[in-house]
Amino acid sequence: MYNAENIQNILEQLRDFFYFGTQDTMKQAYHEMCRINGKEPSQTDWVEEEYCFNRLFVGPVAPAAPMLASYYLETDMAYNGHVTKCVKNLYSTIGLELPESVNMPEDSLPFELDACRYLTQLDRIAKEASEIRKYFIKNHMSDWVRLFLNRTENEQKTPAVDYMLFILKRWIESAVAELAAQEV
Domain limits at 22? 4-183
- Work out the pLDDT band at 4, boundaries 50, 70, 90: low
What pLDDT score does 53 carry? 96
The better pLDDT of the pair 69, 100 is held by: 69
- Work out the pLDDT band at 176, boundaries 50, 70, 90: very high
Range of lowest pLDDT (30-34, 131-135, 170-174)? 131-135
Query: Would you tell me the crossing angle of helices 7-20 and 23-36 to the nearest 10 degrees?
Result: 160
Tell me the β-bridge partners of 108. Answer: 68
Q: What is the mean pLDDT of residues 38-52?
A: 94
Phi, psi dihedral angles at 108 (to 5 degrees): -80, 150
- Work out the pLDDT band at 149, boundaries 50, 70, 90: very high
For residue 124, give the CATH number of its domain. Answer: 1.10.3480.10
146: pLDDT strictly greater than 90: yes
CA separation for the pair 31, 35 (Å, rounded):
6
122: pLDDT strictly greater than 70: yes
Q: 31-40: long-range contacts at Cβ-Cβ below 8 A with a sequence spacing of 24 or more?
A: 33/163, 33/164, 33/167, 34/163, 36/3, 36/6, 36/9, 36/10, 37/1, 37/2, 37/3, 37/167, 38/1, 38/3, 39/1, 39/163
Output the pTM of the full model.
0.92
CA separation for the pair 135, 129 (Å, rounded):
10
**Measuring CA to CA, how many Å separate 105 from each of 135, 142, 154, 170?**
20, 18, 26, 25
Residues 6+ apart with CB under 8 A from 137: 116, 172, 175, 176, 179
| Average per-residue pLDDT for the chain | 90
What pLDDT score does 94 carry? 87
3: pLDDT strictly greater than 60: no
123: pLDDT strictly greater than 80: no
Task: Tell which phi-psi region holds residue 59, choosing left (phi > 0), alpha (psi between -120 and 50) or beta.
Answer: left
What pLDDT score does 154 carry? 94
Exposure letters 23-44 (e unless 16+ CB within 10 A, then b): beebbebbebbbebbebeeeeb
Residue-wise pLDDT tens digits, 78-120: 777 889 899 999 998 888 887 776 788 899 999 999 999 999 8
Give the chain's domain count.
1
